Chain A
Amino acid sequence: MNQQGLRFEKLKIASFDFTCCEGCQLQLANRESSLADFLRLLDIRNFREISSERHEDYDIALVEGSISRSDEVERLLAIRRQATVLVAFGTCACFGGVNSLKNRVSGEAAVSEVYGDMEVETLPVRRISEVVKVDLSIPGCPVAKEEVERIIISLVTGSLVTLPKYPVCVECKAALNTCLFELGEICLGPITRAGCHAVCTTGKTPCLGCRGPAEEINMEAFLHLVGERGLSRSDLQEKLAFYNAFDAFTP
């Protein structure tokens, strides 16, 4: 395509889903007002959810979901071999996501709870980067389409891809919301990477950290804040564990 005298090639892109709800993939079909322009940037080579055409010559692979079965490992390795840029697309791909809550029990216990005596394969849930090299991560449960568009445009134009380094608190303050700590809630906004426009806290519901830790977080001060206000320890633990995004920081 032509823009201001510069020529850009369409991106040969493919979308794949693993253990997940496919909500991030569906975001690609959202923001309908800009969808036609967005699709003009892309040469969709493989996207089972919306097209019956399948080609194996893609450069960028958007990989959604976490990994919890051996056939998924095989499929992911094949995608890695083909893709120049492999994107961990969404919280499940980046961190394991809510699926990781299953790891609190053994695979056998999980299977017998849901399927009784039937044999069903399940492995402990892993994030994409535990299986293959990830070139780029776009977090969010679900991903924010606006951010995806911004990143795709960066890729098309060859400019630097960035995520906000600062926490959700910054965006929440800018939205002039009352701090949820002031309302007696534990909110992970102070330690979570921004970029969601503080959508949950603007809806008066505490941040559960789906975008993972911000660049430089002070976990000690955050834990101190929770303790100082006498807020529930179990509530804190439930929130930190929700998306498995703070495992490296969890006390």
Chain B
Amino acid sequence: MKRDYTIAIHHLTRVEGHANITITVREGQLIEARWAVVETPRFFEVMLKGMSAERVPFLTSRICGICSISHALASIRALERAMHIMPPAVAEKTRLLAMHGETLQSHALHLFFLAVPDFAGTASILPLMESHPDIVRAGLQLKELGNEISTVTTGRCTHPVSLVVGGLSKAPDKAKLTALQKMIRERKPLLETACAFFRTLAIPEFSRETEFISLSNSTSYPSIGGDLVSSDGIKRDENEYLLMTNEYTKDFSTSKFTRLSRETSAAGALARFNNSSAFLHPEALKAAESFGLRPVCHNPFMNNIAQLVECVHILEDAEMLIDSLLDSELSAIKTPWKAQAGSATGAVEAPRGILYHHMETDSEGRVVKADCIIPTTQNNANIDLDLKAIAEWALEKGKNDREIEKLCEMVVRSYDPCISCSVH
């Protein structure tokens, strides 16, 4: 077996954005393992300066093609809190449903298009269309359902149209909500197919203890707003996001790093599960149990399973939300508001973890200062340490360079990194 080698993955595939992995082994010992984000920065904080509040969600949603609803809603929440605007209840329910749609399409995209090929030993989902047509169909139909939820609630699946400061520009159509309800009921069994398939996959038994950070509230599984909590016992107010993130730069990465109690921490589906599993729908908990997933789980590969568990929760919760919207008068969708100077943080649980937007406005409602801290940014340091740990773990187990390369790619993918998002 080769004892001296360098693994250099230039632009990791099947992830959103550009990043490299370098692993150096000399005499069978790990010398270096590095996660370097090389994505081109876009400078959204600069673009936001001077932008009117009305336009902000349309700009922030362009931070990311996968989680545009999360970005729109984080900035809307920041602006509404800064200017003391209370959106109507119908708008809040619709927004929550929109978040569910986005998370479902994002998780389905990750699980079936990006992650499954690793477990199946293929380069992409394309060969699986022949070998595992039922699984590919289930993945596509779940992703389509997520997109449909987003379209019915926000007008479009990528870059939402009707999410605005104060509420919604247009209410979801009741006939479309009814059709959506039917689609959800019809497609729910696909998750059982997916769970049965994922139970056959060999998930590496690797773990490295870390701190998990997520939003938390005392009534439901986290989605929009709440306290900031960590599995190490830290709890902070939403506006104190800077104390939770402690962002810093690394000269080899255009995406920043963060830390809290330890050297690194993790956000995302596994973090949400670890901190808030008590609020999951019983069906989702049953799915988790079938994978032996229990809090606190420190195996990063189980983030894939946590995403699948969240999909089960989302469909159950979406059904209830739609029932509630169908029972409501959908006329009061937007609160009239007056621009004022202020500042606040809006935090949401984007598919990949906690997303912070902080906005400061002037008396005309224009942004004076903006700060966006993205989930993948919060995972960078953890990914970097996981790479070192998994390379050492694999070397101890006598794995060869090809096997180590694959494990390193897989562990990074398990975070479902959204790199363009993290370099916003």
Using a CB–CB cutoff of 8 Å, the interface residues on chain A facing chain B are 17-27, 29-30, 32-33, 35-36, 39, 44, 48-54, 68-69, 72, 97-99, 101-102, 105, 109-110, 113-116, 118-120, 122, 141-142, 199-200, 202-205, 208, 234-235, 238-239, 242
Nearest to B68 among chain A residues (CB) is A23
Sample of 16 A–B contacts (CB below 8 Å): A20-B42, A22-B65, A26-B65, A32-B140, A50-B14, A52-B123, A53-B123, A99-B42, A101-B46, A101-B59, A120-B41, A120-B254, A203-B170, A204-B170, A238-B52, A242-B59
Q: A102 and B46 in contact (CB under 8 A), knowing A118-B249, A203-B170? A: yes
User: B125 within 8 Å of A by Cβ?
Assistant: yes
Is the Cβ of A242 less than 8 Å from the Cβ of B155? no
Residues of A within 8 A of B114 (CB): 50
Residues of A within 8 A of B147 (CB): 30, 32
A5 to B65, CA, bound (A): 40
In the complex, how many angstroms separate the beta carbon of B406 from the nearest chain A beta carbon? 10
Other-chain contact of B161, A17, A19, A200 (Cβ < 8 Å): A200
Residues of A within 8 A of B66 (CB): 22-23, 26
Q: Which residues in chain B, 26-60, are within 8 Å of chain A measured between CB atoms?
A: 40-43, 45-47, 51-52, 55, 58-59
Is the Cβ of A142 less than 8 Å from the Cβ of B159? yes
Nearest to A196 among chain B residues (CB) is B156
Is the Cβ of B14 less than 8 Å from the Cβ of A202? no
In the complex, how many angstroms separate the beta carbon of A149 from the nearest chain B beta carbon? 15
Residues of B within 8 A of A50 (CB): 14, 113-114, 124-125
In the complex, how many angstroms separate the beta carbon of A160 from the nearest chain B beta carbon? 28
Is the Cβ of A26 less than 8 Å from the Cβ of B158? yes
In the complex, how many angstroms separate the beta carbon of A210 from the nearest chain B beta carbon? 9
Is the Cβ of A242 less than 8 Å from the Cβ of B55? yes
Residues of A within 8 A of B52 (CB): 234-235, 238
User: B62 within 8 Å of A by Cβ?
Assistant: yes
List the 5 shortest-distance A-B pairs measured between CB atoms, nearest first. Answer: A23-B65, A203-B155, A203-B161, A51-B124, A32-B144
User: B278 within 8 Å of A by Cβ?
Assistant: no
Residues of B within 8 A of A115 (CB): 41, 249
Is the Cβ of A44 less than 8 Å from the Cβ of B126? yes
Residues of A within 8 A of B65 (CB): 20-26, 142
Residues of A within 8 A of B45 (CB): 113-114
A203 to B129, CA, bound (A): 35
A141 to B65, CA, bound (A): 10
Residues of B within 8 A of A242 (CB): 55, 58-59
A99 to B39, CA, bound (A): 14
Other-chain contact of A20, B159, B254, B420 (Cβ < 8 Å): B420
Q: A23 and B159 in contact (CB under 8 A), knowing A36-B129, A53-B124, A69-B40? A: yes
- Interface centre among B13, B117, B421, by most chain A C-beta atoms within 10 angstroms, is B13
A141 to B13, CA, bound (A): 24
Is the Cβ of B162 less than 8 Å from the Cβ of A204? yes
A23 to B102, CA, bound (A): 13
User: B251 within 8 Å of A by Cβ?
Assistant: yes
Is the Cβ of B17 less than 8 Å from the Cβ of A22? yes
Residues of A within 8 A of B117 (CB): 52
Using a CB–CB cutoff of 8 Å, the interface residues on chain B facing chain A are 11, 13-17, 40-43, 45-47, 51-52, 55, 58-59, 62-66, 68, 109, 113-114, 117, 123-126, 129, 140-141, 143-144, 147, 154-159, 161-162, 164, 169-170, 249, 251, 254, 420-421
Is the Cβ of B169 less than 8 Å from the Cβ of A204? yes
- Interface centre among A26, A113, A122, by most chain B C-beta atoms within 10 angstroms, is A26
Q: A122 and B125 in contact (CB under 8 A), knowing A203-B169, A235-B52? A: no
Residues of A within 8 A of B251 (CB): 118-119
A98 to B68, CA, bound (A): 14
Given A50-B124, A234-B52; 18 other pairs, CB 8 A cutoff: A20-B42, A21-B65, A21-B68, A21-B420, A23-B66, A32-B140, A48-B11, A48-B13, A52-B123, A53-B124, A54-B13, A98-B59, A115-B41, A120-B254, A141-B159, A204-B162, A235-B52, A238-B52
In the complex, how many angstroms separate the beta carbon of B397 from the nearest chain A beta carbon? 24
A30 to B65, CA, bound (A): 12
Residues of A within 8 A of B16 (CB): 22, 49
Nearest to B39 among chain A residues (CB) is A19
Is the Cβ of A203 less than 8 Å from the Cβ of B156? yes
Is the Cβ of A114 less than 8 Å from the Cβ of B46? yes
In the complex, how many angstroms separate the beta carbon of A107 from the nearest chain B beta carbon? 9
Q: A39 and B159 in contact (CB under 8 A), knowing A24-B65, A32-B143, A102-B46? A: no
Residues of A within 8 A of B40 (CB): 18-19, 68-69, 72, 122
Is the Cβ of B144 less than 8 Å from the Cβ of A19? no
Q: A32 and B155 in contact (CB under 8 A), knowing A52-B13, A116-B249? A: no
Nearest to A101 among chain B residues (CB) is B47
Residues of A within 8 A of B42 (CB): 19-20, 68, 99, 102
Residues of A within 8 A of B129 (CB): 36, 39
In the complex, how many angstroms separate the beta carbon of B5 from the nearest chain A beta carbon? 20
Is the Cβ of B46 less than 8 Å from the Cβ of A105? yes
Is the Cβ of B157 less than 8 Å from the Cβ of A29? no
Is the Cβ of A49 less than 8 Å from the Cβ of B14? yes
A21 to B42, CA, bound (A): 9
In the complex, how many angstroms separate the beta carbon of A119 from the nearest chain B beta carbon? 8
Is the Cβ of B126 less than 8 Å from the Cβ of A51? yes
Is the Cβ of B161 less than 8 Å from the Cβ of A21? no
A235 to B52, CA, bound (A): 8
Residues of A within 8 A of B14 (CB): 48-52
A120 to B55, CA, bound (A): 28
Is the Cβ of B159 less than 8 Å from the Cβ of A114? no
Residues of A within 8 A of B63 (CB): 21
A131 to B155, CA, bound (A): 35
Is the Cβ of B43 less than 8 Å from the Cβ of A110? yes
Nearest to A201 among chain B residues (CB) is B161
Residues of B within 8 A of A113 (CB): 43, 45-46
A242 to B55, CA, bound (A): 9
Residues of B within 8 A of A203 (CB): 154-156, 161-162, 169-170
A142 to B144, CA, bound (A): 17
